[in-house]
Amino acid sequence: MSQIPSSLIEFIRKTGAQFRVLDMGRRVQKMSADQFEKVEQGMAPYPQPFLHQAWIALLLWNQQQKEQNVVWFLKLPLDEQGYLVQAARDDLINRIYANIQMFMSEEPASEERDAMKDNPFSFQPDQEKMAAFHAYANKAMGKPASQYFESAQQYFSGQVDLDQWQNLGFQGIADYVVRLDQGNTEQKLCELLPKLPEQPLSVLSTNLENTIPGHKLYAALISRFSDTLKQGKASPEHIAALARGISNGHDEKAKQQIISELLDTDYALEPEVIVAVATRCWSALQEPTVLQKFLEKLAAGKAGQEGFSKILADLMFMPAMRALILMAFRNEDRSEALSAAIGTMFGKQFNQ
Q: How far apart are CA 167 and CA 155, in angstroms?
A: 10
Instruction: Name the residue with higher pLDDT: 67 or 85.
Output: 85
In a domain, 114, yes or no: no
Say whether both 312 and 254 belong to one domain: yes
220 and 295 in a single domain? The answer is: yes
Query: Read out DSSP for 24-52?
Result: -SSS-EEE-HHHHHHHHTTSS--SS-BTT
Half-sphere exposure (Cβ direction) of 86: Cα atoms closer than 13 Å:
9
Cα–Cα distance between 330 and 311 in angstroms, integer?
A: 19
pLDDT (mean) for 70-78 = 94
Pick from 37, 70, 105: which residue ends a domain?
105
> Cis omega (within 30 of 0) on the bond before 271?
no
51 Cβ contact partners less than 8 Å away, ≥ 6 residues apart:
25, 314
Q: Which domain holds residue 97?
A: 8-105
Mean model confidence pLDDT for the chain: 91
Q: Are 161 and 140 in contact (CB under 8 A)?
A: no
Based on the fold, state whether residues 78 and 153 are members of the same structural domain: no
Counted domains in the chain: 2
Q: What average pLDDT does the segment 264-284 reach?
A: 98
Strands, E assignment, the chain: 18-23, 29-31, 53-61, 70-77
Pairing of strands 53-61, 29-31: unpaired
pLDDT category, 349, cuts 50, 70, 90?
A: low
Flag whether 204 is in a domain: yes
For residue 340, pLDDT beyond 70: yes
269: in domain: yes
Residue 48, helix vs strand vs coil: coil
Q: Over 80: is that where the pLDDT of 348 sits?
A: no
Percent share of the chain, pLDDT over 70: 92
Classify residue 233 by burial, with Cβ atoms within 10 Å: 0-12, 13-18, 19+.
exposed
Same domain flag for 42 and 185: no
- CA dist., res. 3 & res. 207, Å (int): 41
Domain shared by 98 and 232, yes or no: no
Q: Taking 50 as the threshold, does the pLDDT of residue 108 lie above it?
A: no
What pLDDT, on a 0 to 100 scale, did the predictor assign at position 279?
97
Of residues 107 and 92, the one with the higher pLDDT is 92
Domain end among 73, 105, 137: 105
- Tell whether 290 and 226 lie within a shared domain: yes
CA distances from 41 to 9, 16, 36 (A): 10, 21, 9
Tell me what pLDDT residue 111 has: 45
Residue 113 has a pLDDT of: 52
Q: What is the mean pLDDT of residues 19-44?
A: 94
Domain boundary among 105, 120, 152: 105
Residues 227 and 280 in one domain: yes
Whether 110 maps to a domain, the answer reads: no
Does one domain contain both 87 and 132? no
- Whether residue 66 is found in the same domain as residue 151: no
Determine the average pLDDT of the residues in 222-242.
Answer: 97
35 with 149, same domain?
A: no
Is 113 domain-assigned? no
Please indicate, yes or no, whether residues 147 and 30 belong to a single structural domain of this protein: no
Helix, strand and coil percent figures for the chain, each rounded to 5: 55, 10, 35
- Does any domain span residue 141? yes
- 295 lies in some domain: yes
> Residue 253: which of 290, 220, 224 has the closest Cα?
290
pLDDT band at 45 (very low <50, low <70, confident <90, very high): very high
Give the model's pLDDT for residue 4. 79
Within a domain: 142: yes
pLDDT 10s digits, 295-336: 999 999 999 999 999 999 999 998 789 999 999 999 999 999
Mean pLDDT value of segment 53-75:
85
Domain match, 148 and 28 both: no
